[in-house]
A and B are shown apart, each in its own frame.
Chain A
Amino acid sequence: MEPISIEGTAKTPTVKFNSENGVIEIKGRSIPENSVEFYKPLVDWLEEYKKNPLPKTLVNIQLEYFNTSSSKCILDVFKKLEAIQKGKNEVEINWYYEEDDEDMLEAGEDYESIIRVPFKMIEITE
């Protein structure tokens, strides 16, 4: 599978999906007006990856901001990851949030409670 590598912009995150090492990363800001356009290729990629995943997939999500339009697309990403885990392949999800950013921590907890894959919450200190 071709890896995905997208540079971040003021409104969209940096994305690195790699099926060779099983590392999935989304970092930065995700605040586009219409997030479906941005996330559709990512969700499609995961759908393909799900057919033949590595025994262990490592997921790093480090968002500074995301809007409610993105929140649904991010859930779609997590649902694909949940499906990989259900297929008996390990998925480790690291949810990074900046020091004191309780809203971002809570957002991670929201996702964790919906998809039933444990998250590791990691506070980034300056």
Chain B
Amino acid sequence: MTFNIQDYYEKLNSGDVLLAYKGSITSDLINNVLDAVESKLHEFNEHSKVRKKVYNVLVESLQNLYHHIDDLPQKYSDQFDTRFGILVVSKETEYYKISTGNFIRSEKTGDLREKIDKINTLSNSELKDMYKFILNHQKLSDKGGGGLGLVDIARKTGNKLNYNFENFNNDFQFFVLEVIISDTNKSS
């Protein structure tokens, strides 16, 4: 059965949602989202530590989308915008949650799965070492991505990366990623 993106989006977009978006992920959109979320965080009088973590993780999440979205074939253009992605930022009592979703070519899922599973086994000091190794040894891609985004997210949040690949068709999967940023002041 084909994964229903609309249903998934509706499900995410319930509860205490700060911001929900589905459509093209462009540079302007990223600017707008960052502005909007930043002013909400100020409105909530969120502690600077949490505010910065949420902002940082949001930047990386959005730019991961921006750099890694695979476009569906032309025949889907009436259903999905080009560079289609979804983003939902929500706030629970003790944490913020950033959920993203994007299409990815099926043949690329293996590498991504492996990368995230690896990240999820690492301790904070191992993540630090991995971050520094990639920083020092890997070149930036033409698109400007550095392969550091997920490592950085895991390191800054101290939480596991929850993800899933939902079947869309033979060639494409829909990759969903959920990141939790704990509100350290409330939980400690």
Contact = CB atoms under 8 A, between A and B. Distances in A.
Interface residues of A, number: 27
User: Looking at B48, B52, B60, B151, which has the most chain A CB atoms within 10 Å of its CB?
Assistant: B52
Contact of B49 (A32, A35, A71, A100): A100
Nearest to A113: B132
Given A33-B63, A101-B48, A110-B128, A68 B149 contact: yes
A82 to B, nearest CB: 12
Q: Which of A67, A69, A110 has the most CB of B within 10 A?
A: A69
Interface in B30-59: 30-31, 34-35, 48-49, 52-53, 55-56, 59
A69 B135 CA distance: 10
Contacts, number: 74
Given A33-B30, A75-B135, A110-B132, A69 B146 contact: yes
A75 B146 CA distance: 12
A36 B140 contact: yes
B148 A101 contact: no
Contacts of B27: 33
Given A11-B31, A103-B156, A72 B63 contact: no
Interface in A74-126: 75, 98-103, 106, 110, 113-114
B69 to A, nearest CB: 12
Contacts of A103: 52-53, 56, 156
B74 to A, nearest CB: 25
A67 B63 contact: yes
B146 to A, nearest CB: 5
B71 interface: no
B146 A33 contact: no
Contact of B145 (A32, A69, A110): A69
A10 to B, nearest CB: 6
B188 interface: no
Given A67-B63, A114-B136, A35 B144 contact: yes
Interface in B123-147: 128, 131-132, 135-136, 138-140, 143-146
B166 interface: no
B174 interface: no
Contact of B48 (A31, A37, A100): A100
Contacts of A36: 140, 144
B135 A114 contact: yes
B133 to A, nearest CB: 10
Interface in A30-50: 31-37
A103 B153 CA distance: 11
A54 B60 CA distance: 37
B67 interface: yes
Given A68-B151, A103-B56, 14 more contacts: A10-B34, A34-B144, A37-B144, A65-B59, A67-B56, A68-B152, A69-B145, A71-B148, A72-B140, A75-B136, A103-B52, A110-B128, A113-B132, A114-B136
